Amino acid sequence: MAPATYAMVVKNGNQAPAICEDSPVAPTLVVLSLKNSPTNKKIGRTARKNASKVEFKSAQVERRVSSQVSCFDSTRNGPFSSEIDCHRIHLKAAAADFRTILVGLYLDALIWLVGSFAAGIDLPTSDLDFTISIPSLTAETSFEKLKMIMERLQRQSVFKVVKIPVLMLVHIATGVEVDVTIDNDTPKRNTQLLRWYGQIDNRFTTICRAVKYWASESQIECSKQGRLNSFSICLMVIHYLQQVSVLPNLQAKFPELNGEIKIEADESGRRNLKRELKSRGYRLNKNEDSLAALYWCFFKYFKEFDFKTHWISVKRGTLVEKEIVEEGQEMTHVCNGAFIGVENPFLEQPWNCARTVRQGDITERIMEEFQRGYDLIEERNTIFRNQSIRRVLIVKEGEARDLMDVKVINRLKDCRYIKSNPREFYEAPPRKENEKRWPEPMQPLPL
């Protein structure tokens, strides 16, 4: 007998379909008896305790924030790594071309890659920084030497020369900007210090990248407008991680790092301080807090920091109290009279890396931004105030592709499709009326 279909059942009214006698017998189900036991535990919801003394709403929030911070981990193979690495590929290509061309022009050229890319704390907006030494150049001043180099670089087609006294170049193939100085030892030491701390714990480079991105978004990093520079922000991250036992004080462990130190141009000959610390039996990674806990506590630490009474010293590994200087007395330390004091870790003569902050209203605004960065995680469970790093990179890639398409279409004859430049679509939106403006610098900024 043919089985009844749905159409047959509907046609014949409520006639039930015939039962197939050859169908297998369904297996017997064993009923399990579950006893409900009262418990006060919320499985998977409570965030774990941490040494940073910040408490997340739940473990899910902590994982989410950690995932956002880990977007800036250059060693992580995640959904964002390919997008961030795309810019790093351009940086590496531009760096290789610069080395090849300069050595071809001057056989005795010594080249140091410095700055954020060399230290491993670069962002997708970072450029390249070099400092060089060419013994065969006989000019007396650095300006004259760079001018001689500029004249020879103008004869090649790989880089476009922009300006001096800092020799600014643009890599034509990738659009990467390159800044070149000569006979300049300061960026060598500063970059190597950041690399050494990055060797100790990879969380430093990840958190430093995330903080630099926040500083760029909040416009705290803008020394030309009387705010903080990039190196000061990096030193603040190191200082904080020293206080929570993530990083040691390297200049206390290795006294030879204080003062003038020589940085070899050949990177293979440089020291690995992590390996040396392990050989001494020093225990690393004393603090095992998550990236989310360390990042959030960074803002908690500095929103409560009293810059009026203390200044930061990485080479001492601690806070230093400001001295009260009465009228007529000589100031014993340059950071004593500063609004924000961040001591240079190498110079024997005191030097404030945050000396560009010279106004009280700008200092107050910087403190407000630290509070706002803390509130972002507490109230919105995110580290991004506007757009995530991935969204920014996707838009940037889309702009580049659209501009390439326009160039191709404009080559065609009788083009009637695109009459406006797509760059207008990607322009930054106007500032919101309720967005607070930064105070204008009233004093001439120090050189």
Q: For position 165, which CATH number holds? A: 3.30.460.10
Per residue in 291-323, pLDDT tens?
999 999 999 999 999 999 999 999 999 888 887
The runs of H, that is alpha helices, within 30-163 are: 59-69, 81-105, 116-119, 142-153
Q: Are residues 174 and 314 in the same domain?
A: no
Q: Are residues 110 and 134 in the same domain?
A: yes
**How confident is the model at residue 416, as a pLDDT?**
47
- DSSP collapsed to 3 states, 248-270: CCHHHHCHHHCCCCCCCCCHHHC
Task: Kindly state the average pLDDT of the residues 341-366.
Answer: 90
Q: Which one is predicted more confidently, 136 or 393?
A: 136
Q: Assign 82 a pLDDT band (cuts: 50, 70, 90).
A: low
The DSSP letter of residue 11 is H
Q: Are residues 159 and 248 in the same domain?
A: no
Task: Kindly state the average pLDDT of the residues 32-59.
Answer: 65
Question: Residue 141: exposed, middle, or buried by beta-carbon count in 10 A (0-12, 13-18, 19+)?
Answer: exposed
The H or E element that residue 320 is part of is strand 318-321
Question: What size, in residues, is the chain?
Answer: 447
**How confident is the model at residue 3, as a pLDDT?**
54
Q: Are residues 92 and 164 in the same domain?
A: yes
The last residue of a domain, from among 127, 161, 186: 186
- The amino acid present at 182, given as its one-letter code, is I
Q: Are residues 211 and 312 in the same domain?
A: yes
Q: Are residues 248 and 296 in the same domain?
A: yes
Look at residue 44 and tell me whether its pLDDT is greater than 60: no
Task: Kindly state the average pLDDT of the residues 331-350.
Answer: 81
385 falls within a domain: no
Q: Are residues 129 and 200 in the same domain?
A: no
The last residue of a domain, from among 167, 186, 205: 186
103 falls within a domain: yes
Task: Kindly state the average pLDDT of the residues 212-233.
Answer: 94
Pairing of β 159-163 and β 128-133: unpaired
Look at residue 417 and tell me whether its pLDDT is greater than 50: no
With contact defined as beta carbons under 8 Å apart, do 160 and 166 qualify?
A: no
Query: How far apart, in whole angstroms, are the C-alpha atoms of residue 157 and residue 160?
Result: 7
Look at residue 168 and tell me whether its pLDDT is greater than 50: yes
With contact defined as beta carbons under 8 Å apart, do 198 and 121 qualify?
A: yes
Q: Are residues 110 and 150 in the same domain?
A: yes
Determine the structural domain holding residue 363 and report its residue range: 195-270+281-380
**How confident is the model at residue 332, as a pLDDT?**
66
Query: How far apart, in whole angstroms, are the C-alpha atoms of residue 447 and residue 223?
Result: 11
Q: Which residues contact 67 (CB under 8 A, 6 or more apart)?
A: none
Per residue in 186-207, pLDDT tens?
999 999 999 999 999 999 999 9
Q: Are residues 112 and 257 in the same domain?
A: no
The DSSP letter of residue 336 is G
373 falls within a domain: yes
240 falls within a domain: yes
Number of domains composing the chain:
3
Look at residue 151 and tell me whether its pLDDT is greater than 80: yes
**How confident is the model at residue 43, as a pLDDT?**
45
**How confident is the model at residue 312, as a pLDDT?**
94
Query: How far apart, in whole angstroms, are the C-alpha atoms of residue 121 and residue 68?
Result: 16
Q: Assign 31 a pLDDT band (cuts: 50, 70, 90).
A: low
The last residue of a domain, from among 155, 186, 217: 186
| Cβ density class 233-255: b for 16+ within 10 Å, e for less | bbbbbbbbbbebebbbbbbeebe
Look at residue 30 and tell me whether its pLDDT is greater than 90: no
Q: Are residues 329 and 373 in the same domain?
A: yes
62 falls within a domain: no
- Specify the CATH number for the domain of residue 287: 1.10.1410.10
443 falls within a domain: no
27 falls within a domain: no
Q: Are residues 326 and 413 in the same domain?
A: no
Q: What angle do CA 143, 144, 149 make, to 5 degrees?
A: 95
- The amino acid present at 248, given as its one-letter code, is P
214 falls within a domain: yes
| Cβ density class 298-318: b for 16+ within 10 Å, e for less | bbbbbbebebeeebbbbbebe
The H or E element that residue 208 is part of is helix 202-217
**How confident is the model at residue 423, as a pLDDT?**
58
Which of 33-37, 134-138, 151-155, 265-269 has the lowest average pLDDT?
A: 33-37
Q: Are residues 168 and 128 in the same domain?
A: yes
Task: Kindly state the average pLDDT of the residues 328-344.
Answer: 77
**How confident is the model at residue 14, as a pLDDT?**
53
